[in-house]
Amino acid sequence: MSIVIISDRDPKAWLSALKARAPELEVYVYPEVENKEKVEYALVWNYPHGVLKEFPNLKVVASMGAGVDHIMNDAELPRKVLVTRVVDKQLGIDMAEFVLALILSHLRNLLVHKGTEVSKEWTPKTYFRIADPTVGIMGMGVLGNKVSEKLKSAGFKVTGWARTQRTNRELRIFSGKEELEPFLNEINILVCLLPLTPLTENILNKDLFSKLPKQAFVINVARGRHLVEKDLLEYLDNGHLSGAALDVFRTEPLPQDHPFWETPKVHVTPHIASVTPPSCA
Ligand SMILES: NC(=O)c1ccc[n+]([C@@H]2O[C@H](COP(=O)([O-])OP(=O)(O)OC[C@H]3O[C@@H](n4cnc5c(N)ncnc54)[C@H](OP(=O)(O)O)[C@@H]3O)[C@@H](O)[C@H]2O)c1
């Protein structure tokens, strides 16, 4: 039995974590694989679709991160393989701290003042406090739950939206299509933590933005294809939304000529909200 790593990430840290845990394992980095018939596990991230067919005895395709959309979108994914993903404690902690940092930076205008610092302007702006906004989290799964706990403990009012109904004494969770509008109507900061599926692709669009109160702020830390980029630009431009923090994009790296780079109301980070450390996986 052997493992193949197929990824656009530097595999060194994964190789040494696997060697440390199971020195007897044969681990290869694609395309340097000695005997493709012996490969039963593939550890993947943004791999070239179609290549998994080269391994006739593949049993498991393991995502190197929390998302499996890059695997499920592979039209040539072998039919009988098991697909797994990483769920580790640190991933949730990192995501929660990142979202908290973004929200605080938005409330206290830190990015706006970075701009006024560059242009040497002394223009104090009115700020908001933790007690002011309601934060709505779309997607109350592994990461959404961690983020809601962190925000609640910091003193924020938090609500959530998920697929299935549930009771949660700590916070109100709206569910399903019928409760999306009432959920949106009440929130000032939207955090997208949905998985990318045919039902959630393009969900952050102008119809959804129009249901948010005026001056709402949008955070997308899930997947780039949740967001209709031109709709976001239109709703920032017409003043309905006050800004957006985006960590994920339809095309990554974000192309040099993309308008987000030049839009002061958009805060761009390069997909760093929470990265799976190989030692935890
Ligand atoms: N930016 C980064 O660095 C980074 C790092 C890691 C992960 N991510 C991304 O973060 C996202 C969340 O990951 P996760 O592990 O927390 O996901 P997860 O555990 O699978 O949670 C998914 C949540 O979304 C809800 N949901 C799914 N489809 C829905 C629909 N059609 N309508 C309403 N709610 C729906 C589910 O509802 P139910 O609970 O009712 O089933 C669940 O609460 C993923 O997109 C992942 O790729 C980003």
pLDDT, one tens digit per residue, over 38-50 is: 999 999 999 999 9
Same domain, 239 and 170: yes
In angstroms, rounded to a whole number, what is the distance separating the alpha carbons of residues 151 and 142?
15
Q: What is the pLDDT of residue 276?
A: 81
- Ligand 1 center–CA 199 separation, angstroms: 12
pLDDT for position 105: 98
Q: Exactly one of 70, 223, 226, 267 is catalytic; name it.
A: 223
Q: Does residue 271 have an active-site annotation?
A: yes
How far, in Å, from the CA of 193 to the mean position of ligand 1?
Answer: 5
Give the pLDDT confidence of 143-175 residue by residue, as tens digits. Answer: 999 999 999 999 999 999 999 998 888 899 999
Q: How many domains does the chain have?
A: 2
| Percent residues over pLDDT 90 in the chain | 91
Last residue of a domain, one of 64, 84, 104: 84
Domain end (from 62, 84, 106): 84
Measured in Å, residue 203 CA sits from the centre of ligand 1 at: 13
Q: Are residues 118 and 170 in the same domain?
A: yes
Query: Mean of the per-residue pLDDT values for the chain?
Result: 95
Do 73 and 187 have their domain in common? no
What's the CATH code of the domain at 20?
Answer: 3.40.50.720
262 shares its domain with 151: yes
* pLDDT tens figures, 204-262: 999 999 999 999 999 999 999 999 999 999 999 999 999 999 999 999 999 999 999 99
For the cut 70, the answer to whether the pLDDT of residue 275 exceeds it is yes
pLDDT at 281: 59
Q: Which domain holds residue 67?
A: 2-84
User: What is the tens place of the pLDDT at every residue in 67-89?
Assistant: 899 999 999 999 999 999 988 89
Tokens of 89: 């404690």
Q: Is the pLDDT confidence value at 280 over 70?
A: no
Backbone angles phi, psi at 154, to 5 degrees: -80, -10
Q: Is 209 helix (H, G, I), strand (E, B) or coil?
A: helix
Q: Which of 60, 84, 108 is the last residue of a domain?
A: 84
Long-range Cβ contacts of 202-205 (<8 Å, 24+ apart): 202/226, 202/227, 202/228, 203/138, 204/228, 204/231, 204/232, 205/231
Q: What is the pTM of this model?
A: 0.92
Q: Are residues 240 and 138 in the same domain?
A: yes
Residues 204 and 74 both lie in one domain: no
pLDDT at 9 over 90: no
CA dihedral angle for residue 102, residue 104, residue 109, residue 111, rounded to 10 degrees? -30
Q: Which atom of ligand 1 is nearest to the CA of 226?
A: 45
